[in-house]
Amino acid sequence: MAFRFIERILSKKGHRPVSEGLEILRFIGPGFLVTVGFIDPGNWASNVAAGSVYGYNLLWVVTLSTIMLIIIQHNVAHLGIVTGLCLSEASTKFIPPMVAKIFLFSAMVASIFTSFAEIMGASIALYMLFGIPIPVGASFSFLFVVIMLFTNTYSKIERIIIAFVSIIGFSLLFELILADVEWDRGVYGSFMPSIPYGAMPVIMSVLGAVVMPHNLFLHSEVIQSREWNTKDEHTIKRQLDYEMFDTSFSMIVGWAINSAMILLAASVFFRNGVTINELQQASEMLIPLLGSHASIIFAIGLLLSGIASSITSGMAGGTISAGFYGEPYNIKDSHSKIGVFTSLFFALMLVFVTKNPFQGLIYSQMCLSIQLPLTVFVQLYLTSSKRVMGKYVNRWYTSLTMLLIGLIITYFNLRLFFDWVMG
């Protein structure tokens, strides 16, 4: 709204309708919506586990995951801009029906595990704040999110939620100034891969918490819903350029926040030999900055984070379901409603049967990384097809990079499997 007001003022004064510097504000947004998932409860649990158990040694996972994320998120946004189809719709239209059904079913399962982490996080926060039992808090969270999505009222408070959660995220970055971080080890750990014994589950959970399959569906839906593909060729190219900035900047912010979580967990817990069994213990990382109120602020941030990310995971479920029928996401349509409800309801059921919430969060993120290669390879097939993308088909080095990303994630999955088999 503010941008449109400025644009009208400039137009009346005879200036260009939009300056080059302001024009980019039109296209900022989809990347930040995806970035909400960077500080969701699953990320908190995975990063706290990584930092408290393995110190600075797994920071490289966040770095590698973020690089991969920028590439594949930009690639899927490219698909949405050029074709006007989200990843789910494009899969239904362009790949064999049986393959599409298997793929979208696995994507819905990933969406359920994502929603599980978000609802679980919100219920933990309610327990911290009011002593509400986890199952009851999860039920309240489920009902609240469903009502917000089905009535579209979430759009009225979404910016407030994201703003507050962002404050929590940036407070972590600021606290790095106060914390006794071993920066030399932190920098080394960020860029030098190492796999400590028994670390594969945590590595996979961090990877799944950063490169989340449901965000690929959501990003392509948000992008294509703007109908940029109806513009002329010059406009499409401009959208692609601005989208790359939006995606890259948003993901780098996410990388900084995730890295800060691990750095703080390493300096607060690992150094002192503290074992983390509950997500609530992570609030201790905020004590140097927020004092005795750290646990309350943390719980409020965790609650809003869980609610905000439950909304996006529910939307992703609706996008997957609608795309199965070749339709865009529309909460007024029954196919979108079914997807939203399926994602959130089965997530709630998982909360009811989970005995250890913290471990449940860790393993839910690990499950996302297991599904991820399938999403990457399907996306690679679509964006490398001239029949789908026309003149905007992937260049050979983009396809090669996407293939390498898929193979790296597959390798980690195989390592996890063999480590499990070997005991």
How many whole angstroms separate alpha carbon 367 and alpha carbon 384? 27
Q: How confident is the model at residue 84 (pLDDT cuts 50, 70, 90)?
A: confident
Amino acid 341: pLDDT: 95
Tell me the domain boundaries of the chain.
33-422
The CATH number of the domain covering residues in 33-422: 1.20.1740.10
Whether the per-residue pLDDT at 351 is higher than 80: the answer is: yes
Whether the per-residue pLDDT at 347 is higher than 60: the answer is: yes
Whether the per-residue pLDDT at 24 is higher than 50: the answer is: no
Amino acid 116: pLDDT: 96
How many whole angstroms separate alpha carbon 384 and alpha carbon 393? 5
Whether the per-residue pLDDT at 111 is higher than 80: the answer is: yes
HSE (side-chain half, CA atoms, 13 Å) at 209: 35
Amino acid 277: pLDDT: 80
Q: How far is CA 160 from CA 59, 154, 166, 190, in A?
A: 30, 10, 10, 32
Q: How confident is the model at residue 15 (pLDDT cuts 50, 70, 90)?
A: very low
Q: With H, G, I as helix, E, B as strand and everything else as coil, classify residue 368.
A: helix
CA Rg, the chain, in Å? 21
End-to-end alpha-carbon separation of the chain, Å? 57
Chain centre to alpha carbon of residue 247: 12
Whether the per-residue pLDDT at 21 is higher than 90: the answer is: no
Q: How confident is the model at residue 238 (pLDDT cuts 50, 70, 90)?
A: low
- Exposed, middle or buried, 103 (CB in 10 Å: 0-12/13-18/19+)? buried
Amino acid 205: pLDDT: 92
Mean pLDDT of the 97-104 span: 94
Closest by CA to 66, choosing from 210, 265, 246, is 210
Which of the pair, 179 or 306, is modelled with greater confidence?
306
Amino acid 179: pLDDT: 78
How many whole angstroms separate alpha carbon 24 and alpha carbon 131? 45
Whether the per-residue pLDDT at 290 is higher than 70: the answer is: no
Whether the per-residue pLDDT at 296 is higher than 80: the answer is: yes
Q: How far is CA 149 from CA 156, 317, 337, 380, in A?
A: 11, 12, 9, 31
Whether the per-residue pLDDT at 203 is higher than 90: the answer is: yes
Average pLDDT, the chain: 83
Q: Is 18 left (phi over 0), alpha (psi -120 to 50) or beta?
A: beta
Amino acid 301: pLDDT: 79
Angle, CA of 51, 53 and 59, to the nearest 5°: 35
On whether the CB atoms of residues 189 and 50 are closer than 8 A, the answer is no
Q: How confident is the model at residue 42 (pLDDT cuts 50, 70, 90)?
A: confident
Whether the per-residue pLDDT at 245 is higher than 80: the answer is: no
Q: How confident is the model at residue 312 (pLDDT cuts 50, 70, 90)?
A: confident
Amino acid 92: pLDDT: 95
- For 149-172, write each residue's pLDDT tens digit: 988 766 666 666 667 667 777 777
Q: How far is CA 132 from CA 122, 123, 129, 243, 422, in A?
A: 11, 8, 8, 42, 40
Secondary structure (DSSP) of 117-182: HHHHHHHHHHHHHH---HHHHHHHHHHHHHHHHHHTTHHHHHHHHHHHHHHHHHHHHHHTTTS---
Whether the per-residue pLDDT at 324 is higher than 50: the answer is: yes
Q: How confident is the model at residue 8 (pLDDT cuts 50, 70, 90)?
A: very low
CB atoms within 10 A of CB 113: 27
Q: How confident is the model at residue 217 (pLDDT cuts 50, 70, 90)?
A: confident
Amino acid 229: pLDDT: 45
How many whole angstroms separate alpha carbon 206 and alpha carbon 299? 21
Helix (H) or strand (E) holding 110: helix 97-130
Mean pLDDT of the 390-395 span: 92
Amino acid 58: pLDDT: 96
Mean pLDDT of the 399-418 span: 93
